[in-house]
Amino acid sequence: EDQVTQSPEALRLQEGESSSLNCSYTVSGLRGLFWYRQDPGKGPEFLFTLYSAGEEKEKERLKATLTKKESFLHITAPKPEDSATYLCAVRMYSGGGADGLTFGKGTHLIIQP
């Protein structure tokens, strides 16, 4: 069964302490991997789309990378405003079936000042 697993479930860092969040997937026929940020009580905010192994994208303190089995969201020198839940989602080749995104459960990130 296709599956998206994010780890860790929760992560607490000190301000300036760099780390990485993981998203592993077991889908067949990947057609895109997406990273979103979600603040409490709000809708997810789009961050990155990755399509092929080896691809990397950066935005401010965030960098997303993709391999054939997983993606990492690297956070460099985070600030308290980076605190949020980070969601990973994949789109797979559906062959005509339901064709939305399959989401992981998210990583809840807290950056302490």
Partner 1 sequence: DGGITQSPKYLFRKEGQNVTLSCEQNLNHDAMYWYRQDPGQGLRLIYYSQIVNDFQKGDIAEGYSVSREKKESFPLTVTSAQKNPTAFYLCASSIAHLETQYFGPGTRLLVL
Beta bridge partners of 20: 74
Q: Is 102 in the site for partner 1 (CB under 8 A)?
A: yes
**In whole angstroms, how close is the CB of 44 to partner 1 at the nearest point?**
5
CA dihedral 90, 52, 73, 26 (to 10 degrees): 40
Q: Check if the beta carbon of residue 23 is closer than 8 Å to that of residue 85.
A: no
Of 50, 41, 37, 30, nearest to 83 by C-alpha is: 37
Per-residue x/- track, 28-67, partner 1 (CB under 8 A): ---xx-x-x----xxxxxx--x------------------
User: For partner 1, which residue of 106, 107, 109, 111 counts as binding (CB under 8 A)?
Assistant: 106
**In whole angstroms, how close is the CB of 54 to partner 1 at the nearest point?**
20
Q: Is 78 in the site for partner 1 (CB under 8 A)?
A: no
Nearer to partner 1, 17 or 33 (CB): 33
Cβ-based neighbours of 1, under 8 Å, separated by 6 or more: 26
Q: Is 89 in the site for partner 1 (CB under 8 A)?
A: yes
- Measured CA to CA in angstroms, residue 57 lies from 27, 54, 64, 78, 110 at distances of 22, 10, 5, 17, 22
Sites of contact with partner 1 (CB under 8 A): 4, 31-32, 34, 36, 41-46, 49, 87, 89, 91, 98-106
